[in-house]
Structure 1
Amino acid sequence: MRVDLPGGTFRMGSDDHYPEEAPTHQVRVGAFAIDAHQVTNAEFAEFVEATGYVTVAERPLDPADYPDAPADNLVPGSMVFVPTRGPVDLRHLSQWWRWKPGACWKHPNGPKSDIDKRLDHPVVHVAHEDAAAYAAWAGAALPTEAEWEYAARGGLDGAPYTWGDEARPGGRIMANTWDGPDFPWRSTGESGFQRTAPVGSFPANGFGLHDMAGNVWEWTDDWWTSRHPDDAASPCCAPENPRGGDLEASYDPAQPQFRVGRKVVKGGSHLCADSYCLRYRPAARRPQMIDTGMSHVGFRCVRRPEGTDDD
């Protein structure tokens, strides 16, 4: 199911939260249609069945690309969230992320898991290449960051959340995020879900779009930048259908040995805890290496009118 959006001008970014979200600036996007929910395991399975596509997480690794790695490590797999046994130093996320051989979209928690009872959950462990391949097969594309944020705001220009100004209006849980303050070791389970939830389990935003906050992060097609351009905040005009940075600028300066591009992911996930990662907001943004899928990253697609620049 798709929702047609007319496009328009909105305030993108935030000056009140994380530095990479600044500065707040006016942006204009054209009309487009967007999926009402994240692409599900069932939908991705149809794509694989029709095309024989093999995701990045399922492909054998070339030893030539990893000359110093032990041969036993060169097996297909992906990154899976594993709760810790107690409180940990939140500066070191390697404590709750594990590389699991055999983890992929069909086996989200490792080779012994499956999706038989998760067909209506968002597909995960998809690298950017995988998401883009699905979108092309579906006659669609991945959204730009500006399109995604416009859609997530649901017509509430400048509101911190997709549903308004309060994280829990009237005490109501509005998204699949981490329950309680004890990330990453103990969730209260208040939302009813410990990991992903079936798409559409929580209220839609003002545009009728589900899970634009929480559940899984979503790929966009824009290269990562450490913040929005400073000149974007100029009051004279609103950039129209802006795009992100470039490949070279998206590399992680903390890991110069890995020249892997990073794209923007949006929306937060079921691992967003107020005490650690308050990023289940439209303005929130994070970099994700394009060759790396994880157990909390998925996507949805957009369709633009024929003849537009990004079509």
Structure 2
Amino acid sequence: MVWVPSGKFEKGSNVYPEESPIDSVTVSGFWMDETEVTNDEFAKFVWETGYQTEAETKLLSNIQPNDLELNEPGAVVFQKPKEDFKPNSAFDWWRYVPGANWRHPDGPNSSIEGKGSYPVVAVSYQDANSYAKWKGRTLPTEVEWEWAAANGSQENANTWQGEFPYLDEGKDGFVGISPVGCFAKNKFGLYDMIGNVWEYTADPWPVDKTLDKTKYHTIKGGSYLCSPNYCKRYRSAAKQPQEDQLASNHIGFRTIKRTHFDSIKN
């Protein structure tokens, strides 16, 4: 973990409506994971506690009679469409895949073997929170996360180059998720605050009144799927809602510890 000092900054932006208003915010210092939690780190948690993730054990609570594939535990997986495909909405390149989970993030035939240094994904909000509690930590608030990321640069990030969702040219060296710490750290010494995978925060989603605040939390930072032509959310102020129970293969997390003088458990 690295120490993020206290400070004051301008939170929010006017790029997207949900990012406004811009407010001056003061933040107390805290320790934060240098990188996103990795597969190896999450595997240690599972090994020592016997924990099973929601994508491995639970069905979605809002299943409709015709959604037969939702009758099995799984996660949402990005699937790149063919170039001649004309999508009607973002849902056309996302699919709920039974058998997808943190061990098999792209579906039951995928694997994290040899990817111990990659960020763990296909975990739910509760899974991330359970890991944080096991470490004696918490998830960061939205304000804490944005302050920690504000000293970074979108140029130092794993994002999508090319026309989304058809072609990722991989000009940054990676097509898809990258191992943690492959890009320059920011001024606080944190890696991958922008891009690679979205990250959970402790805050419920406050913007859209049509969403139940007890079922959605705010995610920050953008991911390898963010591109200039579609999703310009590879910025510290960017945020989106994520359904708590719905795991996805482009969302991970990192943890914080707020007491400066406590010993830090690596």
- TM-score norm. by structure 1 comes to 0.79
Deviation at 1:299, TM superposition (A): 0.1
Q: Does 2:232 match 1:278?
A: yes
Aligned-residue sequence identity (percent) comes to 44
Equivalent of 1:18, from 9, 12, 16? Answer: 16
Partner of 1:266: 220
Counterpart of 2:189? 208
Question: 2:4 touches 2:30 (CA, 8 Å); kept in 1?
Answer: yes
SS of the residue corresponding to residue 198 of structure 1 reads coil
| 1:133 alignment partner in structure 2 | 130
Q: d(CA) in 2 for partners of 1:184 and 1:291? A: 25
Residue 306 of structure 1, CA deviation: 8.2
The 8 Å contact of residues 69 and 97 in structure 2, kept in 1 or not, is answered as no
Q: Please give the per-residue CA displacement for 1:156-210, whole angstroms capped at 9, x wherever unaligned.
A: xxxxxx22xxx54xxxxx2100012x11011112122111100000000110100
Q: 2:247 aligns with which of 285, 288, 293?
A: 293
- Contact 2:195–2:223 at 8 Å: present in 1 too? yes
Q: Residue 303 of structure 1 corresponds to which residue in structure 2?
A: 257
Q: Which amino acid aligns with 2:241?
A: P
Return the alpha-carbon distance in structure 1 between the equivalents of residues 66 and 80 of structure 2.
26
- Residues 282 and 68 from structure 1, CA distance in 2 versus in 1: closer, same or farther, beyond 3 angstroms? same
Distance 2:211 2:198 in 1: 20
2:171 maps to 190
CA distance in 1, matches of 2:87, 2:205: 23
Q: Deviations 1:246-285 (Å, cap 9, x if unpaired)?
A: xxx5726xxxxxx862111000000000100000100001
- Which residue of the other structure, out of 243, 247, 251, is the alignment partner of 2:211? 251
User: Which string of whole-angstrom CA distances, capped at 9 and with x for unpartnered residues, describes residues 67-112 of structure 1?
Assistant: 6256664111110111010165566011111111100000011111
Q: Give the Cα–Cα distance (whole angstroms) in 2 for the partners of residues 178 and 138 of structure 1.
A: 32
Of 132, 137, 145, 1:148 maps to 145
Q: Relative to 1, partners in 2 of residues 1:189 and 1:71: Cα closer, same or farther, differing over 3 Å?
A: closer
CA distance in 2, matches of 1:266, 1:72: 29
Q: Kindly tell me: are residues 70 and 296 of structure 1, through their superposed partners in 2, closer, same or farther at Cα, counting changes over 3 Å?
A: closer
Q: Which residue, out of 127, 138, 159, partners 1:177?
A: 159
* Root-mean-square deviation over aligned CA pairs: 2.2
Question: 1:10 aligns to what SS in structure 2?
Answer: strand
When residues 250 and 285 of structure 1 are mapped into structure 2, their CA distance, relative to the original with a 3 A threshold, is farther
SS of 2:143 mapped into structure 1:
helix
Query: 1:66 deviation in Å?
Result: 3.8
Distance 1:269 1:71 in 2: 29
Give the conservation status (yes or no) of the 8 Å contact 2:63–2:70.
Answer: no
Larger Rg: 1
Once residues 139 and 69 of structure 1 are traced to their aligned partners in structure 2, the CA distance between those partners, rounded to angstroms, is 42
Decide whether aligned partners of structure 1 residues 306 and 199 sit closer, same or farther in structure 2, where only a CA change above 3 A counts: closer
Structure 2: gaps (5+ residues): 262-266
Aligned equivalents of 2:204, 2:67: Cα separation in 1: 31
Hey, what's the Cα distance between the residues in 1 that align with 2:31 and 2:67?
Answer: 46
How far, CA to CA, are the matches of 1:92 and 1:260 in structure 2?
A: 26
The whole-number CA distance in structure 2 between the counterparts of 1:279 and 1:75 is 31
TM-score scaled to structure 2, two decimals? Answer: 0.92
Matched, 1:100 2:97: yes
| Residue 264 of structure 2: aligned partner | none
State whether residues 260 and 291 of structure 1, in contact with CA within 8 Å, keep that contact through their aligned partners in structure 2. no
Asked whether the 8 Å contact 2:13–2:237 carries over to 1, the reply is yes
Is 1:120 the counterpart of 2:146? The answer is no
Contact 2:2-2:33 within 8 A present in 1 as well: yes
- 1:134 is paired with a residue whose SS is helix
Q: What does 1:65-76 correspond to in 2, within 5 Å?
A: 66=63, 68-69=65-66, 73-76=70-73
Say whether the 8 Å CA contact 1:225–1:250 is kept in structure 2: no
CA distance in structure 1 between the partners assigned to 2:234 and 2:145 by the alignment: 13
Give the aligned residue type for 1:179.
Q
Give the stretch that moved more between structures: 82-91 or 124-133. Answer: 82-91
Gaps of 5+ in 1: 155-161, 169-173, 228-248, 253-258
Tell me the distance in 2 between the aligned counterparts of 1:72 and 1:111: 14
Q: What is the letter of the counterpart of residue 270 of structure 1?
A: Y
